[in-house]
A and B are shown apart, each in its own frame.
Chain A
Amino acid sequence: MNWSQIISLVSAGNYMEVEKILQDYPYIVDMADHLREQKLKVIANLDTYVKRTMDSVEKLGGHAYLAKDKDEARKIIGDLVGEKKTVVFSKTNVAYEIGLREFLQERNNEVWETDLGEYLVQISRGWPTHIVAPALDMTREEAAKAVKKIDPSINENSKIEDIVAAVRKFLMSKYVKADVGITGANAVAADSGSVALVENEGNIRIDTVMPPMHIAVTGIDKIVPTMRDALDEVMVQAAYAGIFPPTYINVTSGPSSTADIELRRVSPATGPKDFHLVLIDNGRLEASKNEDLKEALLCIKCGRCYFSCPIYRTLGKEWISTKSPYNGPTGVMWNYITNKDPWPASYCVHSGGCKEVCPMKINIPEVIKYIKFIGSKQVGK
């Protein structure tokens, strides 16, 4: 199958699957509407919510940091990780945004992506095609060819189940010696300092509990007012990504703890002894103060808008390429927020499908039109 065939099939499948999920679980739409209102409150007072979140994390015995840009974020995490460590990554687009994996590798760390799709992208030396499904453009044969590098028993005729088992076996050997688990966050609750993550593979669960140190790295846009909102966000994200119910929802509130003796909560227990939350600004705070751009911060990264976009469906990852892990309609907004790059907006054909399918009801074409305008002011007269 070529890209055009893959994306047509996947887009139609996602559209119908999400429609069915919303019929079967009608409360998801109400949750999405409520979440939008809650996220708008954060955008209106981002500074305050960042501080509240960091205070909550510290109260839990965790450590919180605010990095203003990519360099600062890499330095903070680089110092936490150190050198010659084994690091397991769950899929995190923010890590791509700041070039974290390569940075840690350059400091003599062994770093492994543990999400299957992301792992395939890593061993193929590729770039994620989709925000939720990074290896969307890979066929079974291509995945087998990549996995053969770590398991010679895999060949072009191997079944998908065998390819998955080979990766699982490989990653298990890394989990047991991992020093640090690095995850992103689907949402961070300001009131509790809890990080919420949704997944299906079980890798995030292991990344967050098995290594002695858990670092969650995410954008300040992922902050929501309460723990309830954080759980709403993971549910809504999973539903609109087209996989519901999700296999796992993980909530991490500081380092591991127990209150089993005399009901006194002590830390650590079985899981990590250190928990660090690294919040990244990298253009988000500025965007929150820009009336034309701020709606973009509502995005929960479900990736549904990609499938509705004629340009993404034609160009795939070549549209925004390696300039950003964010592609498709939301990627045009996010590449601008994080890189100040207006040019991918020029290709927007304002088909409007993106705003129709967005759970956060972001008027994506309107934001993109603003970015186009910024670009148009930069072309020579």
Chain B
Amino acid sequence: MDEDYVKKQEATIRNVLVKNLMESYVPFPLDKKIATQWAYAINVPRGGSTIIYTSYMYQMANVFKSYEKYVPTFGSLGSSKIIASIGAKLIKPKEEDIKRFNAILQNIYRIVKRSNENIGYLYEEEPYSGSLLYELGFMDEFKEYGKKVFELFKQHKVSNIITIDPHTTNTLTNLKKYIGFDIPFTPYLNLIKEAKGTGKFVLHDSCLYSRFLGMYESIRTTIRSAGVELVEDPTVTGKGAGFCCGGPVGPLNDKLSNEIAKARAETLTSVNKDVLVACPLCYANLSEFCNVKDIAEVIA
């Protein structure tokens, strides 16, 4: 491994991330109009005690994937509001991606609304969870930023959170452990009742859901209960044999991230041609190499 490059990259990422997060609650310049339009379109109530928490993960997944490429831009833009607004225009998701994540977010919202009529959303005031800080090992910064996120939720009188991706769920789990974040949270997959779906897939487990958050079995039960067929091969989808999509190493080494994604896609498609994922970052990484759908695209 190229140790010097890793050191340099880690230093740049930390500086960019911390500066942006501490000033504007997002990891890099982001067009919040685009990120929140899914909710405006279906009139999701603003605020409320129970909220759906996107943490911008579906909206930013493709940017995260190219983080290494964007880091110099993020660094040079700084994080003042004017410059950031210009940056947000430069780093814009593609139209097809916007359409796709809007549909996914709206579907997830409709699914969870069946278990609770009163679910709101913080829109532009929603903070990013800080996952990247935790996953890159910047623990001091993670705890410091986590306290800000916790305070923000308390200011909005949030008392119940529905998470929609594994990275945010895992981050809140760790905020609970490290800073006493005590607002209850539940992944939307655990709230699904009477959903319907079709198709035959091999499930690419989210590492975090299946091996850190104890959801390996429950995700399968949820998907199968909806009518979706899952094909298993213990050497590919077994709990100890599963494989990462390559996403988490992307910020440090895009090439390595892609090699992992390609290898994972090859083994998955040796089991079944269509792949199912539970995480927007897994989708962003694997979709270049195989036919992938998010769970929220096949069940409703």
Contact = CB atoms under 8 A, between A and B. Distances in A.
Interface stretch (B57-65, B69-77, B236-244): B236-244
Interface stretch (B29-37, B44-52, B117-125, B256-264): B256-264
A349 B253 contact: no
Contact of A372 (B136, B208, B236): B136
B137 interface: yes
Contacts of A375: 10, 137
Q: How large is the interface on A (under 10, 10 to 19, 20 to 34, 35 or more residues)?
A: 35 or more
A372 B137 contact: yes
A378 B14 CA distance: 12
Given A8-B267, A353-B242, A343 B207 contact: no
Interface in A189-223: none
A308 B10 contact: no
Contacts of B11: 379-381
A15 interface: yes
Contacts of B249: 311, 347, 349
Contacts of A236: none
Interface stretch (B1-9, B82-90, B102-110, B189-197): B1-9
Contacts of B10: 346, 375-376, 379
B80 interface: no
Contact of A351 (B207, B259, B267): B207
- Tell me the interface secondary structure of chain B in the complex: helix
B146 interface: no
A375 B14 CA distance: 12
B141 to A, nearest CB: 8
A15 B234 contact: yes
Interface residues of B, number: 41
A349 B247 contact: yes
B234 to A, nearest CB: 7
B23 interface: no
Contacts of B208: 350, 352
B15 interface: yes
B234 A16 contact: yes
Q: Interface centre among B3, B7, B10, B240, by most A CB within 10 Å? A: B240
A349 B167 CA distance: 12
Contact of A373 (B6, B137, B252): B137
A365 B208 CA distance: 11
A321 B1 CA distance: 8
A89 interface: no
Given A16-B234, A356-B239, A376-B10, A349 B244 contact: yes
B137 A356 contact: no
A160 interface: no
Given A319-B1, A347-B253, A376-B10, A310 B260 contact: yes
A318 B253 CA distance: 14
Interface in A1-46: 4, 8, 11-12, 15-16, 19
A47 to B, nearest CB: 30
Contact of A343 (B3, B139, B140, B241): B3
Interface in A334-381: 343-353, 355-357, 365, 369, 371-373, 375-381
Contacts of B259: 314
A313 interface: yes
A352 B248 CA distance: 12
B264 A15 contact: no
A85 B249 CA distance: 48
A16 B243 CA distance: 16
B207 A352 contact: yes
Contacts of B114: none
Contact of A346 (B137, B246, B267): B137
A371 B136 CA distance: 11
B289 interface: no
A379 B14 contact: yes
Nearest to B239: A356
Contacts of A377: 140
21 contacts: A4-B263, A12-B236, A15-B238, A308-B240, A311-B249, A346-B252, A347-B6, A348-B248, A349-B246, A350-B208, A350-B244, A351-B207, A352-B207, A352-B208, A352-B212, A353-B211, A371-B137, A373-B139, A377-B140, A378-B7, A380-B7
Given A352-B211, A353-B240, A373-B139, 9 more contacts: A347-B1, A349-B248, A350-B208, A351-B207, A356-B240, A357-B240, A376-B136, A376-B138, A376-B139
